[in-house]
Amino acid sequence: MSDKKTTYREHTDMENTLKLRQVLATLPPFCKDYFRAIDTTTTAKTRISYAYDIRIFFQFLLDENPAFKDHAMTDFTVDVLDQIKAVDLEEYQEYLKLYQSGDKTETNGERGLKRKISALRSFYAYYYKREMIHTNPTVLIDVPKIHEKSIIRLDTDEVAMLLDYIEHCGDTLTGQKRVFYEKTKERDLAIVTLLLGTGIRVSECVGLDIEDVDFKNNGIKVTRKGGNEMVVYFGPEVEKALKRYLEVREGITPLAGHEHALFYSAQRKRMGVQAVENMVKKYSRQITTTKKITPHKLRSTYGTALYQETGDIYLVADVLGHKDVNTTKKHYAALDDARRRQAATAVKLREE
């Protein structure tokens, strides 16, 4: 075992810091002041998203505004912000719906538009408050309205079908497919059971170290969004799945630097978010074709079941790690789906 333990969060933060520096190098030099200012109030991941969003804004000016056709992005100085009017920002919103980024055609729906306009508002507000610019046209335009989508989750019978499928789908496989399935079966079952039985985020799941699992109290120590640590407790089904996986894990020799990870990939490295997402998609599409199931949908499934069993929205908010209980209320205290289904048989179209 290596002496110096770098946590998953620390490793991710280092990677994101380097990535942010690369993106900032492509932006106008004055932008660095803004990103330095929001450093203590945002995560590196959020700052990278903002940097990409603000870079699209400057690209829009270069592509669509004749006044800047001979400019490079790094030529812009802070006074360019004062040259932009509300009508320019309305054109920018239209541009965001469909634009070219290199060889790729990009599109934005309601959420993408809202995030990019919110990023620009925050950006403008920083320079305006510090009297580095005299106008703030972002307050004159409307932020796109978000239409709520219904929450997708697995029904109780679908949860049982998914776990049964992961446990037994190898019965029909042969050759290399069978070998690979047997190699990953206990790991996959442990991950899906853990996600369904605790509601933790996929990033929290892949960030778990072996030392974070406590079978004495049946709890796992997770690092929440924002860096807070919290113990989330699990029941007998999760305990059984984890213990069966740990027997398999003992036979794995991890690559250097990955000795502490709880879940390993086939390459003997810490499993990543994308790998878990792909794995959940692979199994769940055999159970339901009408629902696009992701690890986040498994979290929603847990949250819904917990609320229906306890009726305690504050408990649900606490266990899921929601900072604002209103987020939880919006998601889980909506009309119960079982009641909504009664509407299907309540109205008779023709007498039998």
CATH of residue 193's domain is: 1.10.443.10
Which position has the token pair 């939880």?
Answer: 328
User: How distant is the alpha carbon of residue 306 from its chain centre?
Assistant: 21
User: Residue 259 domain-assigned?
Assistant: yes
What pLDDT digit, counting tens, does each position of 144-166 carry? 788 777 778 899 999 999 999 99
Question: In 69-218, which residue ranges form alpha helices assigned H by DSSP?
Answer: 86-96, 110-129, 156-168, 175-198, 202-206
Mean pLDDT of 28-44: 94
Beta strands in 137-289 (DSSP E): 213-214, 219-223, 229-233
pLDDT top residue among 209 and 349: 209
Whether 18 is in a domain gets the answer: yes
pLDDT confidence band for 352 (50 / 70 / 90): low
The pLDDT tens digits for 192-249 are 999 999 999 999 999 999 999 999 999 999 998 877 899 999 999 999 999 999 999 9
Beta bridge partners of 105: 100
- pTM, two decimals, is 0.81
Q: What is the maximum alpha-carbon separation in the chain?
A: 76
CATH for 104: 1.10.150.130
What is the structure's pLDDT at 2?
A: 47
Model pLDDT for residues 311-321, shown as the tens digit of each residue: 888 999 999 99
Same domain, 164 and 312: yes
Instruction: Judge contact between 242 and 251, C-beta under 8 A.
Output: no
Domain shared by 255 and 291, yes or no: yes
Residue 295 · residue 199 · CB < 8 Å: no
pLDDT tens for each residue of 242-274? 999 999 999 999 999 899 999 999 999 999 999
291 or 333, which is more confident: 291
- The domain total for the chain is 2
Residues in a beta bridge with 261: 209
Confidence band for 345, pLDDT divided at 50, 70 and 90: low
Range of the domain at 60: 8-140
**Sheet arrangement for strand 219-223:** 213-214, 219-223, 229-233
